[in-house]
Structure 1
Amino acid sequence: MPDTQPRNVPELFLERVGLTPDAEAFRHPAGAGWRSLTWADTEARVRAISAGLRALGVQSEQVCAILASTRIEWVLSDFGILCAGAATSTIYPSSTAEECAYILADSGAVVAFAEDGLQVAKLASRRAEMPALRHVVVFDGEGSADGWVTPLADLEARGRAWDAEHPGAFEETAASVRPDALATLLYTSGTTGVPKGVELTHSCWVSQSASVQASGILDHEDPVQFFWLPLAHSFGKMIGTAQLRIGFPTAVDGRVDRIVENLGVVRPTFVCAVPRIFEKVHNKILSNARDGGPVKAAIFRWAIDVGLVASRARRAGRPPGTLLQAQLAVADRLVFHKVRELFGGRLRFFVSGSAPLSRDIAEFFDAMGIVILEGYGLTESSAATHANLPSKRKIGTVGPAFRGIEVRIAEDGEILMRGPWIMRGYRGMPEQTAEALDPEGWLHTGDVGFVDADGFLSITDRKKDLIKTSGGKYVAPAELESKLKAISPFVSQVLVHGDRRNFVTALVTLDADAIAKWAAEHGHAGQPVSALARLPEVQELLQRHVDRLNAGLPRFATVKKFAILPRELSEAEGEVTPSQKLKRKVIEQHFRAEIDAMYGGEPPRA
Structure 2
Amino acid sequence: MWMGLATGIYTTNSPEACQYVAANCEANILVVENQKQLDKILKVKDQLPHLKAIVQYKGEPQQKAPFLYTWAEFMKLGEDVPNEQLNAMIDSLRANECCTLIYTSGTTGNPKGVMLSHDNITWTARVASAMVKGDSDEDVLVSYLPLSHIAAQMVDIWVCLSLAGTTYFAEPDALKGSLVNTLKEARPTFFLGVPRVWEKMQEKMRGAGAKASPMRKRVADWAKSIGLQYNYSVMNGEDAVPWGFMLANNLVFKKVRAALGLDRCKYCFTGAAPITKETLEYFMSLNIPLRELYGMSESSGPHTVSIDEYRITSCGKVIKGSKTKLENPDADGNGEICFWGRNVFMGYLNMPDKTTEALDEDCWLHSGDLGRHDEHDFLYITGRIKELIITAGGENIPPVPIEDAVKAEVPIISNAMLIGDKLKFLSMMLTLKCVMDDNGEPTDELTPEALDFCRQHGVTATKVSEILANKEPALYKAIQEGMENVNTRSTSNAQKIQKWIILEHDFSVVGGELGPTMKLRRPIVVKMHQEKINEMYAVATDKQ
> Do the structures match in fold with TM over 0.5?
yes
* In the alignment, structure 1 residue 449 sits paired with structure 2 residue 449: no
1:422 lines up with 2:333 in the alignment? no
- What whole-Å deviation, never above 9, does each CA across 1:130-183 have from its counterpart, x for those lacking one? 333321111122255322210111111221222xxx232222221220111111
1:190-339 alignment runs, 5 A limit: 190-218=106-134, 222-239=138-155, 240-255=157-172, 256=174, 257-292=177-212, 294-321=214-241, 324-326=242-244, 328-339=245-256
Structure 2 counterpart of 1:60: none
* 1:198–1:425 Cα contact (<8 Å) kept: yes
Give the C-alpha shift of residue 524 in structure 1: 5.0
- Distance in 1, Cα, partners of 2:179 & 2:20: 32
- CA separation of 1:401 and 1:516: change in aligned 2, threshold 3 A: closer
Alpha-carbon shift at residue 311 of structure 1 (Å): 1.7
Change in Cα spacing, 1:411 to 1:453, as seen in structure 2 (3 Å) is: same
Tell me the CA shift for residue 575 of structure 1. 2.8
Distance in 2, matches of 1:174 and 1:594, equals 56
Give the CA deviation at 1:463: 0.9
Contact 1:531 1:566 in 2 (8 A): no
- The aligned counterpart of 1:369 is 287
- CA distance in 2: counterparts of 1:90 and 1:156, whole angstroms: 15
Alpha-carbon displacement from aligned partner over 1:28-53 (angstroms, at most 9, x marks no partner): xxxxxxxxxxxxxxxxxxxxxxxxxx
- Quick one: which of 509, 527, 536 aligns to 2:431? 509
Contact 1:596/1:602 (8 A) holds in 2? no
Q: How many residues align?
A: 513
SS of 1:308 mapped into structure 2: helix
- SS of corresponding position for 1:340: helix
Contact 2:135 2:163 in 1 (8 A): no
The one of 69, 86, 95 aligned to 1:170: 86
Asked if the contact 1:533/1:539 (under 8 Å) is kept, the reply is no
Residues 1:453 and 1:175: Cα distance change in structure 2 (over 3 Å): farther
Give the deviation of 1:355 after TM superposition. 1.0
How do residues 588-599 of structure 1 correspond to structure 2 at under 5 angstroms?
588-599=526-537
In 1, Cα distance between equivalents of 2:477 and 2:10: 48
1:488-524 alpha-carbon deviations (Å, 9 max, x no partner): 4422222122334454322111111383435596675
Alpha-carbon distance, 1:382 to partner: 1.2
Identify which of 360, 363, 376 aligns with 1:438. 360
Partner of 2:440: none
Distance in 2, Cα, partners of 1:463 & 1:330: 47
Task: Provide the rounded CA distance (Å) in 2 between the counterparts of 1:357 and 1:183.
Answer: 31
Cα distance, 1:565 vs structure 2? 0.7
Of stretches 570-579 and 230-239 in structure 1, the one that deviates more from structure 2 is 570-579
Q: Does the 8 Å CA contact 2:268/2:291 hold for their aligned counterparts?
A: yes
Q: Indicate the residue corresponding to 1:499 in structure 2.
A: 421
Q: CA-to-partner distance for each residue in 1:186-239, whole Å, 9 max, x for gaps?
A: 221212332211111111112212222332453699321122111110111211
| Structure 1 gap ranges (5+) | 1-64, 67-77
SS of residue paired to 2:107: coil
1:180/1:216 Cα in 2 relative to 1: closer, same or farther (>3 Å)?
A: same
Q: TM-score, normalised by structure 1?
A: 0.78
Q: Amino acid of the residue matched to residue 318 of structure 1?
A: E
- Give me the TM-score of the superposition, normalised by structure 2: 0.86
Aligned with 1:238: secondary structure? helix
SS at match of 2:105: coil
Cα distance in 1, alignment partners of residues 538 and 348 from structure 2? 43
Identify unmatched segments of 5+ residues in structure 2: 330-334, 436-444
Counterparts in 2 of 1:180 and 1:592: CA distance versus 1, 3 Å: same
2:525 is matched with which residue: 567, 578, 587?
A: 587
Which residue in the other structure is 1:12 paired with?
none
Partner of 2:402: 480
* Distance (Å, rounded) in 1 between the aligned partners of 2:313 and 2:418: 20
> Sequence identity, in percent?
29
Which residue of 1 is the match for residue 476 of structure 2? 539
Q: Distance in 1 between matches of 2:394 and 2:7?
A: 51
SS for the counterpart of 2:275 is coil
Judging changes above 3 Å, is the alpha-carbon distance between structure 1 residues 86 and 170 closer, same or farther for their aligned structure 2 residues?
farther
* Partner residue, 1:186: 102
SS class of match (1:210): helix
Q: Give CA-to-partner distance per residue, 1:431-459, whole Å, 9 cap, x none.
A: 11111111111111100001223222111
1:385 maps to which residue? 303
Question: In structure 2, what is the Cα distance between the partners aligned to 1:320 and 1:550?
Answer: 38
Q: CA RMSD in A?
A: 2.8
Distance 1:199 1:153, change over 3 A: same
* 1:531/1:469 CA distance change after superposition, 3 Å: same
Query: Are the aligned partners of 1:484 and 1:549 in contact in 2 as well (CA < 8 Å)?
Result: yes
Q: Offset at 1:90?
A: 5.2
The one of 307, 318, 338 aligned to 1:401:
318
